[in-house]
């Protein structure tokens, strides 16, 4: 087996570029697909038959790409992507090695009737997506990004990546108790961004503006999935630049590492089929056609088995031997709130990826799963840490238990420890992203 590229700090620099290019889940999967294409992967359509003979020079000839045969393939659906590499001669019952992640992050999303305002201010009506730290969105220059759906049913990505909106905080002179009693925000009244001046609310104004930004004609847009993002670029932080501050690390850090690891092992002589599954809607429960609780992953894996001439028995054998690493960010010990963490499990940034454990199945890791991850880290010469929640505090969850229960796949929850999770701008160690990527490479090699 050829030795794949070993990632270093350059991987972290590339992560910063990936974060900046991916302000929405739709942009994230487009960024991932672009990287996969450069590595020789080809998109297949869910509406095509997957048992066709491979098409020679398909990408150049503009013909349908087959899902049968060896090589790299990927499926795009909304804000989700599933990519896999079939080694030459892989049997239909060959097990999968899956890196699971999610593309969405908590933010403010545009309502169906977005144009509003009061007292001479023009504002945008937004709904709160997931569980953001709302105070982190105050007094921050915001752009607008997402997906526009046109009259013909096609979609167009849009990204206004400049200061367009702002949610202004109330001055302390008008809220004297804020420092002593804490900030209290009404989610309906206090989170409306301003984006201009005017005494009249003009219905359709925001969408007309975005049509112009996207180079579309007036009235072409009939649907939209739009969200705010901080326009401040990711940046190294600290005296020795050992930290990275940026948006959407939860969980594009894992998506980026998964893409890097998958493309690194593609072309190798493998005894498994490496897979990246990056889902949307994790932050609100994963229950959608693009979420981990939907049928997307199972459908893609099954169709891959059948496209290679497999039977239901082959599918069952493949799934029984499959392992998934559910990779999502976790909590590094906070120096100002150390008592909120378990006193014997205090993950530090730049200490390597974390193994998440919860005996009540908020995480899917068990002892045998720990052994799988430990072996991958040992092979990659990567240190890892363990994370459990403080018993006195509720534990979050991930796509891990959902994946394990829905597909009957052994699943292990891992990730990178960060600070300020669910903030508009989060913080990680500069070494942890490439340490995670190296561990994922070793795992995907089987």
Residue 396: CATH number of its domain: 3.40.630.10
List the structure tokens of 20: 């900046």
DSSP-derived 3-state class of residue 279: strand
pLDDT of residue 54: 52
Q: Are 32 and 80 members of one domain?
A: yes
Do the domain assignments include residue 240? no
Per DSSP, the three-state class of 12 is: helix
**215 and 93 housed in the same domain:** no
Q: Concatenate the DSSP letters of all residues of 218-259 into one string.
A: TT-EEEEEEEEEE-SPPEEESTTS-EEEES-HHHHHHHHHHH
* Residue of 83, 100, 104, 101 whose CA lies nearest to 23: 104
Assess whether 296 and 330 both reside in one domain.
yes
Biggest CA-to-CA distance, the chain: 72
235: in domain: no
Is 157 part of any domain?
yes
Q: What is the pLDDT along the chain (446 residues), one digit of tens a residue?
A: 455 668 999 999 999 999 999 999 999 999 999 999 999 999 999 999 997 555 455 545 455 677 777 899 999 999 999 999 999 999 999 999 999 999 999 999 999 999 999 999 999 999 999 999 999 999 999 999 999 999 999 999 999 999 999 999 999 999 999 999 999 999 999 999 999 999 888 899 999 999 999 999 999 999 999 999 999 999 999 999 999 999 999 999 999 999 999 999 999 999 999 999 999 999 999 999 999 999 999 999 999 999 999 999 999 999 999 999 999 999 999 999 999 999 999 999 999 999 999 999 999 999 999 999 999 999 999 999 999 999 999 999 999 999 999 999 999 999 999 999 999 999 999 999 999 999 999 999 99
- What total number of domains does the chain contain? 2
CATH of the domain at 217: 2.30.250.10
Residue 304 domain flag: yes
Residue that finishes a domain, picked among 178, 201, 230: 230
Residues 139, 284 within the same domain: no
Q: Say what the pTM is.
A: 0.95
Expressed as residue numbers, the domain containing 116 is: 107-230
Tell me: do 195 and 330 sit in the same domain.
Answer: no
Query: What is the pLDDT at residue 112?
Result: 96
Residues 435 and 367 in one domain: yes
Residue 239 maps to a domain: no
Q: How far apart are CA 261 and CA 393, in angstroms?
A: 34
The helix/strand/coil state of 97 is: strand
To the question of whether residue 102 is assigned a binding role by annotation, the answer is yes
Task: Quote the CA–CA distance of 325 and 328 in Å, as a whole number.
Answer: 9
Contacts of 30-36 with CB under 8 Å at 24 or more apart are 30/157, 32/81, 32/83, 32/255, 32/259, 32/276, 32/278, 33/74, 33/76, 33/81, 35/259, 35/260, 35/263, 36/72, 36/74, 36/83, 36/259, 36/262, 36/263
Strand 71-77 relative to strand 42-43, pairing: parallel
- Dihedrals φ, ψ of 133, to 5°? -75, 100
**173, part of any domain:** yes
Q: Can you tell me the distance from the alpha carbon of 128 to that of 322, in angstroms, rounded to the nearest whole number? A: 36
Q: Would you say residue 191 lies in a domain?
A: yes
146 Ramachandran zone, left/alpha/beta (phi>0; psi -120 to 50): left
pLDDT score at 52: 57
Q: Are strands 273-279 and 155-165 parallel, antiparallel or unpaired?
A: unpaired
DSSP code at position 176? T
User: Does residue 226 share a domain with residue 111?
Assistant: yes
**What's the confidence (pLDDT) of residue 62?**
53
69 and 111, same domain (yes or no): no
- CA angle, 87 then 37 then 103, to 5°: 95
Domain boundary (230, 255, 281) is at: 230
Residue 227: Cβ within 10 Å count? 24
Same domain, 40 and 187: no
- Regarding whether 352 and 330 lie in a shared domain, the answer is yes
Considering the domain architecture, whether residues 136 and 83 belong to the same structural domain is answered as no
Does any domain span residue 241?
no
- The response to whether 173 counts as a known ligand-binding position is yes
pLDDT of residue 55: 46
99 and 165: one domain? no
- Please state the φ and ψ torsions of residue 247, each to the nearest 5 degrees: -90, 155
């Amino acid at each position: 087996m050829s030795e794949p590229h070993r990632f270093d700090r350059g991987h972290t620099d590339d992560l910063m570029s990936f974060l900046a290019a991916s302000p929405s889940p739709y942009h994230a999967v487009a960024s991932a697909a672009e990287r996969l294409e450069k590595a020789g992967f080809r998109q297949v359509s869910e509406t095509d038959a997957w048992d066709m003979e491979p098409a020679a020079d398909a990408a150049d000839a503009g013909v349908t790409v087959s899902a049968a045969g060896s090589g790299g393939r990927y499926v795009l659906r909304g804000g989700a992507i599933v990519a896999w590499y079939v080694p030459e001669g892989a049997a239909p019952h060959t097990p999968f090695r899956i890196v699971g992640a999610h593309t969405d992050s908590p933010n403010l999303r545009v309502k169906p009737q977005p144009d509003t305002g009061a007292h001479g201010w023009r504002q945008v009506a937004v709904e709160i997506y997931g569980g953001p730290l709302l105070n982190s969105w105050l007094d921050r220059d915001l752009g607008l990004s997402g997906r526009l759906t046109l009259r013909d049913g096609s979609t167009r990505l849009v990204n206004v990546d400049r200061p367009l909106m702002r949610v202004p905080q109330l001055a302390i002179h008008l809220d004297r108790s804020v420092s002593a009693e804490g900030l209290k925000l009404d989610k309906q009244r206090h989170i409306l961004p301003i984006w201009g001046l005017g005494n009249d609310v003009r219905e359709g104004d925001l969408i007309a503006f975005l049509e112009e930004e996207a180079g579309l004609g007036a009235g072409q847009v009939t649907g939209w999935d739009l969200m705010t993002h901080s326009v401040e670029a990711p940046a190294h932080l600290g005296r020795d630049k050992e930290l990275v501050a940026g948006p959407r690390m939860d969980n594009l850090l894992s998506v980026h590492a998964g893409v890097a690891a998958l493309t690194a092992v593609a072309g190798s002589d493998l005894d498994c089929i490496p897979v990246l599954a990056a889902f949307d809607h994790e932050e609100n429960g994963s229950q959608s056609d693009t979420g981990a609780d939907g049928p997307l992953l199972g459908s893609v894996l099954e169709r891959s088995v059948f496209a290679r001439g497999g039977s239901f028995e082959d599918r069952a054998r493949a799934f029984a031997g499959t392992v998934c690493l559910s990779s999502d960010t976790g909590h590094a010990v906070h120096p100002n709130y150390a008592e909120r963490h378990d006193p014997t499990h205090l993950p530090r940034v730049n200490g390597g990826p974390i193994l998440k454990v919860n005996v009540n199945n908020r995480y899917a890791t068990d002892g045998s799963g720990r052994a799988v991850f430990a072996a991958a880290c040992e092979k990659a010469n990567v240190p890892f840490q363990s994370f459990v929640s403080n018993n006195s505090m509720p534990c979050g969850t991930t796509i891990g238990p959902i994946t394990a229960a829905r597909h009957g796949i052994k699943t292990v929850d891992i990730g990178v420890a960060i600070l300020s999770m669910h903030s508009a701008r989060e913080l990680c160690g500069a070494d942890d992203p490439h340490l995670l990527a190296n561990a994922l490479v070793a795992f995907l090699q089987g």
